[in-house]
Chain A
Amino acid sequence: MKGRVLHFHLAGINNQNFLMQDEETGSWWQQVSGLAILGPLKGDSLTRVFHDEVTFARWRKENPGGRVLRPAADSAWKTFSANWEEETAHLPVRVNGPADGALAERAVIVGVVVAGHAKAYPVAALQRQSPIMDRLGGRTIVLVESDSGRAFRAFDATQNGATLEFFQAADSGSGSMRDATTGSVWDFSGVAVGGPLRGQRLTRLYVLKDYWFDWKIYHPETAVYLLGPR
């Protein structure tokens, strides 16, 4: 932050999203947005590092030279339930947020923001239909699911000035797509691995897997993608 390295602690919870406090100035930062909401640095924003939530198998395949966080040695953490995700899903939601019946409060969504326009894509929809093509913030985008409905990525569907239309190409591997325009096959990392566009790379869009109740607090104008009945 402005040439100074901040060190963070947990400082509290704001409507079920953590607050962090930096040692250096004592400011409070909102976890999900990286925005300082109170204290001397109020109004400042941390730079977001692009992250990706995928299975370890896929990550290691894509990053063989990478490194992995080692579990803590003291290991109270081992007693931490292996079912944490399921148990968290049953925790109550009591927040000061907009009431909105579009989705269940704890529905897991994939959030995308393009040119200031936010949209939530329910994971349940992506598990039923992938890829999903949509218009958002004046762009055509494509969202795709992989790793048995657990990993999600989004790309700008425009390549070389032309908007490509994507279809599933599961026979070419989990998360693979084929574009109708050129017939090229694209893998889950957005790289064309076969066909005329082989070697080209789609522009990745940042996605955030979040609970609906949390997403709509920080994106009050968000749209929601609803799968038509079929």
Chain B
Amino acid sequence: MPESLSTKGSPSTLLAVLLALLVLSVMVVVLLPVWLIQPFKPQSSGALAWSFWLRRWSPMFTIGALLAGGVLAGVLWQGVRSPWRKALIACALFPLVLSVWASRQNHFEWMFAPLPNSSFERAVRTDFVSPSDLVLGIKVKEDAVAFPVRQVAYHHLVQDDAGGVPIVATF
């Protein structure tokens, strides 16, 4: 058994190439939407559709890639004796694991700070907003709610129930 990943034509070369392609594909799947949706770059509707599709399927795809990569790595591992080659195989698994995690992260919620659990103060007791500050006011039935603009400009997204109607306030 030739202990080699680079001998042309050997089955282990094919497996190594497949493993490398797998690593490349998860990186594309996870990083492409991040690259397409940059805050101060224009987006085309095609780029958005691609991003949506990749974000939607990447959690499943990366799990599949990790399982397949694990099998490939296991087979390759048994074929090599050099510790360097074993280290290389182990290294290939690292981006696969990382992508499973990354595909489940929402980096927009790291950059910005949405407020899912909002709390409120009665208007007459509010001392944290100055009279000249702007607020977004809504009124649903008799329930009047003010969202200070500075706060929504920071959170961008606040959920609430107003007058019994679930609403999302966004800025």
Residues of A within 8 A of B (CB): 5, 7-16, 18-20, 26, 28, 31, 37-39, 46, 49-57, 59-60, 62-72, 76-77, 80, 82, 84-85, 88, 91-92, 94-97, 147, 150-151
B113 at the interface (CB under 8 A from A): yes
CA distance A84 to B166 in the complex (A): 29
A8: contacting residue among B56, B136, B159, CB under 8 A: B159
CA distance A151 to B52 in the complex (A): 37
- The tally of residues in B whose CB lies under 8 Å from a CB in A reads 71
CA distance A76 to B129 in the complex (A): 17
A52 CB to closest chain B CB (Å) equals 5
Count A-B contacts at CB 8 Å: 198
CA distance A60 to B134 in the complex (A): 11
Within 8 A of A (CB), among B79-128: 106, 108-109, 112-116, 118-124, 126, 128
Residues of B within 8 A of A (CB): 33, 37-45, 48-49, 51-52, 55-56, 106, 108-109, 112-116, 118-124, 126, 128-140, 142-160, 162, 165-170
A170 CB to closest chain B CB (Å) equals 18
Contact in complex: B56, A26 (CB < 8 Å): yes
Residues of A contacting B33 in the complex (Cβ-Cβ under 8 angstroms):
12
Contact in complex: B135, A53 (CB < 8 Å): yes
The answer to whether A64 and B123 touch (CB under 8 A), given A52-B137, A54-B137, is yes
Contact in complex: A69, B108 (CB < 8 Å): no
Given contact pairs A38-B49, A70-B118, enumerate 20 new A-B contacts (beta carbons under 8 Å): A8-B170, A10-B114, A14-B48, A37-B48, A39-B52, A51-B169, A52-B136, A55-B131, A60-B146, A63-B139, A66-B123, A68-B122, A68-B145, A69-B145, A69-B147, A69-B152, A77-B113, A82-B150, A84-B154, A88-B153
